[in-house]
Amino acid sequence: MLALVTAACFFLQIGLAATAFCYLVVILLFALLDSFLASGLLTLLAVAALDFFAAPPLFDFRISDPRDHLVIVPFLLACLIGSGLIQQARSERRVGPIKPSLKSNDADLREAVKQWQQVFEHNPVMYFMVDPAGTVVNVNTFGAAQLGYAPAELIGQSVLGVFFEEDRDFVRQCVALCLGTVGEAHTWEIRKVRKDGSVLWVRENAKAMLRADGKPIVLVACENITERKETENALRQSEAYLAQAQELSHTGSFGWKAATGEITWSKETYRIFQCDESEKPTIPFMLERIHPDDRLPVRRATGYAMREGRDYDHEYRLLMPDGAVKYVRAVARATRDAGGSVEFVGSVSDVTPAKEAERRLRESEQRFRDYAETASDWFWETGPDHRVTRVSEHPETAGMAPSWAVGLTRWDIAPDAALQPEKWQQHRAALDAHVPFRDLVYRSKDRNGHPTYVRTSGKPFFDANGNFLGYRGVCSDVTADIRADQAEEALRKAQTELAHVTRVTTLGELTASIAHEINQPLAAVMANADACIGWLQRSPPDLKGARRSVEWIIEDGNRASEVIRHVRALAKRTDIEMVPLDVNRVVREAVTLVQREMATHAVSVRMELKSVLPNIFGDRIQLQQVLINLIMNGIEAMEGVTDRPRELVIRSDPDTNGSVLVSVTDRGIGISADTIDRMFTPFFTTKSSGLGMGLSICRSIVEAHGGRLSASPNEGRGATFQITLPLHQEEAS
């Protein structure tokens, strides 16, 4: 009988407490039929069966959970007490036909009920009795306490109150199942909610039975499995974390039983191999997915590890179905199972990004080496004392980076260090402050001792602890650039000198005009002075007339002074002074200086100047020189004209491209297309006595102002010279 109960309970997996309850029923029934000694032996067998078949670890007499003792010990006591009571009752009946009194029987019954009540109340298992409506008929003290209640708080209440709202339909279904299968046991796992709101996981073993009145009642024994559930949840969470970590790190795990060829993969391993998780991984599939060039090395590595029972670590390529190549690294630890067969547990990582980065790094390094080998620059390195420790070797720059530079400082190498102390003091201060520097230019010498110019830049470098180790940088030979700049500066000086000579020559040609411009206000001064004397000699003196004459004298004197100032400015050799200018005022001042020359050659001038123009940015004297030159060229171009008026038109207009246009138009002999292409070339002239430098200098001056000087023939007669000058920056914005 005990064996049948054990087999049934083990098959149904109803748990330790429920199995003990079934054993208790069998032992008490057996005590009614047999002796106390037989019941005692059966009790010991039942304890052993509980320990071996129901208490973890299974099939072992050890008990891992101390709480299981709280089930087995009360079970043992209940069996012994119950068997003893039954045996005592049997003995009293066999003693004689002593008819116990009704009062004695009631006392014995109450005592038995009390003892059973004690067993029910203090058994360390949660018991509920529930009627068909779901109302709690009874609950033991231990069970109520586990939920944080007193029994009285639960009895008479709906059993659904100790379950979560979302689980109550399931509870109703379970109660209905038990009521529909009276006498059959059912087991399920569910959450209960304690009075304080915390969760209690239980395994419930339930059975519906009929009471004496024939009405059914559901008896539920609940085993606390909260710790196991929390462990399972923690395990599932850990597995989820592991899966996420594998996905993020592109690292999967695998197991391989070498003897049977059985392989297990994690989800990430399936993803790496691009294989459906429903497929069972096999050796042939893996070999098919491995790149053909890597199959033999993989077979050799794994074969050796399998034969020798050794760990392995190797990289190989996978050839994906779409033709893409993926790099993986497999690392495995060798173990042996109980039979001594080799098993491997390991990881497989997708190292394609790292391989691609390594490849790009190699390409970058090779590209840098190619640049370094083909560039005309050379590289250097200094120690913390700023002395050269390394200079790159390069055939093209060997003469610029002599080996004797190693061990010297930069200011030891530069011969101009003593000539430019301030520059080198600033450079040494930057080095001592450990800050980067750029484009330091200094004189040096090549291996033949010839002077050269070097431009260098550098930045400090440090070790892992932040200690200063020195500087690394690059040098360039800028000798050609420096000499070109020097030549260009010399050319600018020559052009300035030539422009000055041209202005002086022009002034010589304009001597008559200048004299006329000065004589006119001087003659007016004399006339006004005589008039002033006349006003004063009147009786009484006409002071108002005399004052007016004096004011005219002052105006004429200022006019003469302004002419002289312009002449002196043109004749004086001064540096370029770029300032905001009113282009109309520059035009008027230039025309004033050539007024007499135009009158002498019977040339009239018409100025069509826009009243409101933005300022330009330039040098007044140089721009006046350009205008005077163009006006004089126009006068000379109309010298032989007799059939039409000799007229010059000077215009100023704003340009749509953010600039100002000034044009000088004559009605002379005009210019040919061939002449236009050559007329701004130095030393080209159509005049018998000209040097051919005027227009060339004018174009240089205009281009130095960021503008453009051009010429074009008119549709009728004559030619037009047009100057385009950019606006002052503030005006343009």
Least confident of 90-104, 204-218, 301-315, 341-355: 90-104
Residue 174 has pLDDT above 90, yes or no: yes
Task: Report whether the peptide linkage leading into residue 132 is cis, meaning its omega lies within 30 degrees of zero.
Answer: no
Residues 115 and 25 in one domain: yes
Residues 379 and 350 in one domain: no
Task: Select from 323, 356, 389 the last residue of a domain.
Answer: 356
Spatial distance between the Cα atoms of 546 and 537, rounded to a whole number of angstroms: 10
Residue 409 has pLDDT above 90, yes or no: no
pLDDT of residue 716: 78
Q: How far is CA 486 from CA 245, 344, 415, 490, 492, in A?
A: 66, 77, 19, 6, 10
Whether 16 maps to a domain, the answer reads yes
Least confident of 133-147, 298-312, 591-605: 591-605
Residues 45 and 105 in one domain: yes
Please check whether residue 554 is in contact with residue 508, taking contact to mean a CB–CB distance below 8 angstroms: no
Return the number of other C-beta atoms located less than 10 Å from residue 289's C-beta: 20
pLDDT digits (tens, 9 = 90+) for 424-447: 889 989 999 999 999 888 887 766
Return the number of other C-beta atoms located less than 10 Å from residue 55's C-beta: 24
Q: What is the DSSP letter of 51?
A: I
Residues 465 and 583 in one domain: no
Q: Which residues contact 433 (CB under 8 A, 6 or more apart)?
A: none
Q: Which residues contact 679 (CB under 8 A, 6 or more apart)?
A: 671, 686, 695, 711
Spatial distance between the Cα atoms of 269 and 274, rounded to a whole number of angstroms: 8
> Among 724, 708, 727, which Cα is nearest to 581's?
727
pLDDT of residue 464: 86
pLDDT of residue 688: 47
Residue 404 has pLDDT above 80, yes or no: no
What are the start-end ranges of the E strands in 18-79?
none
pLDDT of residue 192: 93
Please check whether residue 567 is in contact with residue 594, taking contact to mean a CB–CB distance below 8 angstroms: no
Residues 103 and 5 in one domain: yes
Residue 693 has pLDDT above 80, yes or no: no
pLDDT band at 78 (very low <50, low <70, confident <90, very high): confident
pLDDT of residue 431: 92
- With 0-12 CB in 10 A as exposed, 13-18 as middle and 19+ as buried, what is 39? buried
pLDDT band at 398 (very low <50, low <70, confident <90, very high): very low
pLDDT of residue 621: 79
Residues 257 and 297 in one domain: yes
- With 0-12 CB in 10 A as exposed, 13-18 as middle and 19+ as buried, what is 669? middle
Task: Select from 477, 498, 521 the last residue of a domain.
Answer: 477
Residues 389 and 350 in one domain: no
pLDDT of residue 655: 85
Residues 663 and 729 in one domain: yes
**What is the SS3 assignment for 680?**
coil
CB burial string 367-404: b at 16+ within 10 A, e below? eeeeeeeeeebbbbbbeeebebeebbebeebeebbeee
Whether 214 maps to a domain, the answer reads no
Residue 128 has pLDDT above 80, yes or no: yes
pLDDT of residue 31: 73
> Among 273, 189, 266, 185, which Cα is nearest to 224's?
189
pLDDT band at 671 (very low <50, low <70, confident <90, very high): confident
Least confident of 205-219, 227-241, 453-467: 227-241
In this predicted model, which residue has the larger pLDDT, 568 or 482? 482
pLDDT of residue 691: 47
Spatial distance between the Cα atoms of 263 and 346, rounded to a whole number of angstroms: 11
Average the pLDDT over 466-493 and give the result.
81
Residue 146 has pLDDT above 60, yes or no: yes
State the CATH number of the domain containing residue 719. Answer: 3.30.565.10
Whether 145 maps to a domain, the answer reads no
Residue 103 has pLDDT above 70, yes or no: no
Residues 384 and 351 in one domain: no
pLDDT digits (tens, 9 = 90+) for 303-347: 999 889 899 999 999 999 999 999 999 999 998 887 888 999 999
Name the average pLDDT for the chain.
Answer: 80
pLDDT of residue 116: 52
- Provide the domain count of the chain: 4
pLDDT of residue 491: 59
Q: Tell me what percent of the residues of the chain surpass a pLDDT of 70.
A: 77
Whether 176 maps to a domain, the answer reads no
pLDDT of residue 514: 62
Whether 327 maps to a domain, the answer reads yes
In this predicted model, which residue has the larger pLDDT, 720 or 61? 720
Residues 728 and 580 in one domain: yes
Task: Select from 124, 157, 187 the last residue of a domain.
Answer: 124
- Domain housing 28: 1-124
What are the start-end ranges of the E strands in 415-514?
437-445, 451-462, 468-477
Whether 254 maps to a domain, the answer reads yes
Residue 573 has pLDDT above 70, yes or no: no
State the CATH number of the domain containing residue 432. Answer: 3.30.450.20
The 3-state secondary structure of 538-582 reads CCCCCHHHHHHHHHHHHHHHHHHHHHHHHHHHHHCCCCCCCEEEC
Whether 603 maps to a domain, the answer reads yes
**What is the SS3 assignment for 419?**
coil
In this predicted model, which residue has the larger pLDDT, 202 or 75? 202
Residue 338 CA to its chain's centroid (Å): 52
Q: Tokens 């509980």 correspond to what residue?
A: 50
Residue 415 has pLDDT above 90, yes or no: no
pLDDT of residue 29: 74
Residues 634 and 723 in one domain: yes
Return the number of other C-beta atoms located less than 10 Å from residue 305's C-beta: 20
Residue 682 has pLDDT above 80, yes or no: no
Rounded to 10 degrees, the C-alpha dihedral 159/164/168/169 comes to -170
> Among 403, 407, 411, 401, which Cα is nearest to 388's?
407
Least confident of 112-116, 298-302, 653-657, 671-675: 112-116
Whether 465 maps to a domain, the answer reads yes
Least confident of 9-13, 119-123, 332-336, 609-613: 119-123
Residue 41 has pLDDT above 90, yes or no: no
Q: Which residues contact 90 (CB under 8 A, 6 or more apart)?
A: 32
pLDDT of residue 664: 94
Residues 704 and 597 in one domain: yes
pLDDT of residue 357: 84
pTM beyond cutoff 0.85 = no
pLDDT digits (tens, 9 = 90+) for 507-558: 555 565 566 557 667 877 887 788 888 888 888 888 888 888 888 888 778 7
Spatial distance between the Cα atoms of 675 and 698, rounded to a whole number of angstroms: 16
Residue 224 has pLDDT above 70, yes or no: yes
pLDDT of residue 10: 62
Q: Quote the tokens at residue 133.
A: 């409506």
